[in-house]
Amino acid sequence: MNALIGLPIILPLLGAAASIALGAHRPLQRLISIGVLATLTATTAVTLVRVDRNGITAVQVGGWEAPTGISLVADRLSVVLLLTALVTLFAVLVYAVGQGSFDQPGSEARHVGFHPLYLILTAGVSFAFLTGDLFNLFVAFEVMLMASYALLTLGGRADQVRSGMTYVVISLIASTLFLAALAYVYAATGTVNMADLHDKIAALPAGLRSSLAVLLIVVFGIKAAIFPLFFWLPDSYPTAPTAITAVFAGLLTKIGVYTMIRTQTVMFTPATRPGTLLLVVAGATMVVGVLGAVAQNEIKRLLSFHIVSQIGYMVMGLGLFTVAGVAGAIIFTVHQILVKTSLFLVGGIIEEKAGTGRLARLGGLARTEPLLAVLFLLPALSLAGIPPLSGFVGKLALVDAGLDDRAYVVVGVSLVVSLLTLYSMTKIWAGAFWGTRSEGASDLPPAKGTTGTAIMTSATAALVSVTVAIAVFAGPLHELSTRAAADLVDPTPYIEAVLGR
């Protein structure tokens, strides 16, 4: 069991090294990447079952006891999100291999570094979910960011590099703030282990405790793209290759949400947790994001603004700081990783088939591509929270928790934003899949890359099927999320597992 916890970090790094050595053999690179992600998905599923049955497991790397050494911690929250992330990374990798057959700038087939960078990104994501201290969380973010910088600009187009620079600059600012926060935390407490910080921070003056809590919200809020720290996101993602955009949109911002949940619940006592501030931020994030989406007329940009909007729901669940609220945030995060990735993958297929993502130049795809229409419709309705799909399950859990906590204003905002989300999804549905193409639009490009398109469609269909499965198994998932939330709202089991008390 302990060996399985470190595997999601070690195996991708070994795979990246092997992929570099075999850079001249693209089929072998693909085989390594697919093999690594398939293995990790299976072993992480086993880890989730064991953690849910036996409780939180902590591994002290090198035998150095916490809080001195490096702790890797597998609890229900980290493992369920890690499993979701690996499923997503696996599906997107298969999609990228299919897209490589088109041999376009930025495609997997044209860059020997794609597979090593993708595996390094996987290692960073895994490390972020499993680490038990703030310093190694910083290291995990830097590993992800190094891979992200290169992946975001694959193809070297001027608009990609320009948008990538925005992402790089904002990420460097966030990293600088994170490093400053680490310094403040260590100076005040003498430790960076999250379990150890629970009691150490509780002993600090109230003003200092609140300042540290807000500072960490700002640090991770930039990465999660909450209001008003979201401005970089809509311009950074749409210009990248579709597979990369899908991973960034579906997964990376959710790691920012995960770190907010982890640090605010484990490190801070209930009296210090800034619930009101988080609820205000949640409502503002929902509103600004959805209004930005409504104003867009290009598929990827519209979906990019929805990344921001939907982050608000997760922050809402955290801001309630109840078992029901945090459980709703967990369910919603799982749903969003899968649904948002699926929508971006569908958007990529539309661009490959129609040569554009502008709604004004699209139309009639439901008649020519009925399977693609279904693959868009299911996650689109789920994003809007239409029953009985996964988005409805997550939003119902959050609304129910908000009503129980008498947070009527943010609940009302969430319901209005859901209606606007449905409107914006209808905008894509009507513009791309129904109606007719405008007179000024060029004809569809000739069919090409039939095998590649089939692979891309299969990967997208598999991911959409997982979103449907969430709705089918909503009961067990809600129970699992409730158990995970109980361990967070009262972090005593986490602290005992890490510190051995």
pLDDT tens sequence across 248-264 = 888 888 999 999 999 99
pLDDT given at position 288: 94
pLDDT given at position 137: 95
pLDDT given at position 352: 80
Measure the CA–CA gap between 407 and 42, rounded to whole angstroms.
40
pTM of the prediction? 0.93
Q: How far is CA 90 from CA 144, 390, 436, in A?
A: 17, 20, 35
* Predicted confidence (pLDDT) at residue 77 exceeds the cutoff of 90: yes
* Predicted confidence (pLDDT) at residue 159 exceeds the cutoff of 70: no
Compute the average pLDDT of residues 140-154. Answer: 86
Compute the average pLDDT of residues 132-151. Answer: 91
pLDDT tens sequence across 446-456 = 444 577 788 89
Instruction: Give the lowest-confidence range in 33-42, 166-175, 176-185.
Output: 166-175
pLDDT given at position 314: 95
Measure the CA–CA gap between 348 and 409, rounded to whole angstroms.
37
* Predicted confidence (pLDDT) at residue 442 exceeds the cutoff of 70: no
3-state helix vs strand vs coil in the chain, percent to 5: 80, 5, 20
Instruction: Give the lowest-confidence range in 33-37, 364-368, 391-395.
Output: 364-368
> pLDDT grade, residue 464 (50/70/90)?
very high
pLDDT given at position 249: 85
DSSP 153-180: TTT--HHHHHHHHHHHHHHHHHHHHHHH
Q: Which two tokens stand for residue 63?
A: 């035998």
Helix boundaries (H) for 385-473: 390-404, 408-428, 450-472
* Predicted confidence (pLDDT) at residue 498 exceeds the cutoff of 50: yes
* Predicted confidence (pLDDT) at residue 234 exceeds the cutoff of 70: yes
pLDDT given at position 61: 85
pLDDT given at position 1: 59
C-alpha R_g of the chain: 22
Where do the structural domains in the chain lie, given as residue ranges?
2-437+444-499
pLDDT given at position 196: 93
Measured distance between the N- and C-terminal CA atoms of the chain, rounded to whole angstroms: 20
Measure the CA–CA gap between 475 and 393, rounded to whole angstroms.
9
> pLDDT grade, residue 183 (50/70/90)?
very high
Compute the average pLDDT of residues 406-435. Answer: 91
pLDDT tens sequence across 108-122 = 656 778 899 999 999
> pLDDT grade, residue 239 (50/70/90)?
low
